[in-house]
Structure 1
Amino acid sequence: MIKIMACFLIGVVTAGCNGIVKPDLSGGTNDSYFLVFSGFPVPYLYMASAVQWNDDYAVTTRHTPFIPNVTYSCSTHCDLVFIKHKANGHYPSWRAPRVGESITAVGGSPYLVTTTGKGKVYQTPFVNADEHSGDLYAIHDAPLVKGMSGGPVIANDGSVVGINIGFYSTTLNDVSSNSGVKGAERISIFIPYSIIQREWGMLQAKLTNPHGPKYAAK
């Protein structure tokens, strides 16, 4: 039997506020995610969150302008960049999200306080028609506020399953009318692990052979 999933095809992902979040009280575990700020020519005008990927790199959203130390942007123009950032103590384990599992969305806020929201993962994929990447993003229904873009989506086992992008501005009636997100309180969008892992493979290839395939045989 072939299972067909509905797909949101929309043009706008917003980054204001779609619910009430709480301060993050995780203490020592939060050194694997951190705030990032825009650099020249508008230092500290824009803020986002980032998550440590490995010893030397972290990931955050592409839509946040002028983030320094960007090493690599998504090959499909999806909303993802890798930044050069040394791990501070440790970095999280990563894995693919599971439909129906409970998650915690984490990230910064306009008051520079790390915040969290609780929700769960939904089956319906999401396409941002404005960016033309063709990538299928994932959906959870945890609340997000401005500044949480790039922050981790954390499963109950502590694994990071993706990074927050923003949310789809809609009414609860619109949400309940789509079977893929039936019961969701809101539609928050995140980049799943599979896309980040794919792009890490592309970055690794670039680091191994910076001149491209045509130089590989030389």
Structure 2
Amino acid sequence: MIKIMAFLLVGVVTAGCNGFVKPDLSGPVNDSYFTVFSGFPVPFMYMASAVQWNEDYAVTTRHTPFIPNVIYSCSTHCDLVFIKHKANGHHPTWRAPRVGESITAVGVSPYLVTTTGKGKVYQTPFRNIEEHSGDLYAIHDAPLVKGMSGGPVIASDGSVVGINQGFYSTTLNDVITQSGLKGAQRVSIFIPYSIIQREWLMLQAQLDAPRGSKYAAK
């Protein structure tokens, strides 16, 4: 059963689409995000998007199966993994999202075309009751389609404030009246910078440990 409590949206995330997206025309900046495909035993069966975190690592969603080069999974079992991926000349600036700011959600579509959707950030946090991580994700109202999971949520200053995860599977009118999302066009979920940064510090501690070379070499 889906529960909605004051200023906390609790429910499940679904895949598919929740609106219309447009082709990405951002040009040279899109070498900071890219498409990832599943590997063995089902190569190219599943796909998602990923964002470069720094020179050597990128981030994407954990729910996409069999993604190769995964170096670290979220400590709370949240929907996040780090993958070993060398930056292709560019990696974005990251920061925390700001309530009310305009954002662009970016990622690959099922037709292998990079797509975007416009929206803004909302204050209400979201908890996915299916993953039991306890983490609170963030909400924007930009449209998402299947394949955009793991793609960047980009603020108007060009900073990445999180990565797309999915969208909420309920009636929008119910959400608006019960959880303070007045004016939202839809409810799209993203993993905010704070969670990604927290997990990076844990990965970094592993890399700095005496046996950390085994992670760095993968």
Q: Deviations over 1:177-204 (max 9, x none)?
A: 1342111011000000000000000000
Cα distance between partner residues in 2 of 1:191 and 1:179:
19
SS at match of 1:92: coil
- Tell me whether 1:36 sits opposite 2:13 in the alignment: no
- Tell me whether 1:198 sits opposite 2:198 in the alignment: yes
Deviation at 1:170, TM superposition (A): 1.8
**Equivalent residue runs for 1:81-96 within 5 Å:** 81-96=81-96
TM-score normalized with structure 1 length: 0.93
Structure 1, unmatched stretches of 5+, are 213-218
Q: Deviations over 1:40-96 (max 9, x none)?
A: 000000000000000000000000000000000000000000000000011000000
SS at match of 1:178: helix
The residue aligned with 2:66 is 66
Cα distance between partner residues in 2 of 1:169 and 1:179:
14
The residue aligned with 2:8 is 7
**Equivalent residue runs for 1:66-215 within 5 Å:** 66-209=66-209
Cα distance between partner residues in 2 of 1:101 and 1:210:
42
Cα distance between partner residues in 2 of 1:5 and 1:199:
28
TM-score normalized with structure 2 length: 0.93
Taking only aligned residues, the RMSD between alpha carbons, in angstroms, comes to 1.3
Q: Aligned pair count?
A: 208
Q: Which amino acid aligns with 1:38?
A: S
SS at match of 2:180: helix
Question: Cα distance 1:183–1:158, how it changes in 2: closer, same or farther (>3 A)?
Answer: same
Give aligned-pair identity as a percent.
Answer: 84
Q: Which amino acid aligns with 1:124?
A: T
Q: Which amino acid aligns with 1:25?
A: L
SS at match of 1:86: coil
CA contact (8 A) 1:148 1:164 kept: yes
Cα distance between partner residues in 1 of 2:210 and 2:68:
20
Structure 2, unmatched stretches of 5+, are 213-218
CA contact (8 A) 2:8 2:179 kept: no
- Tell me whether 1:24 sits opposite 2:24 in the alignment: yes
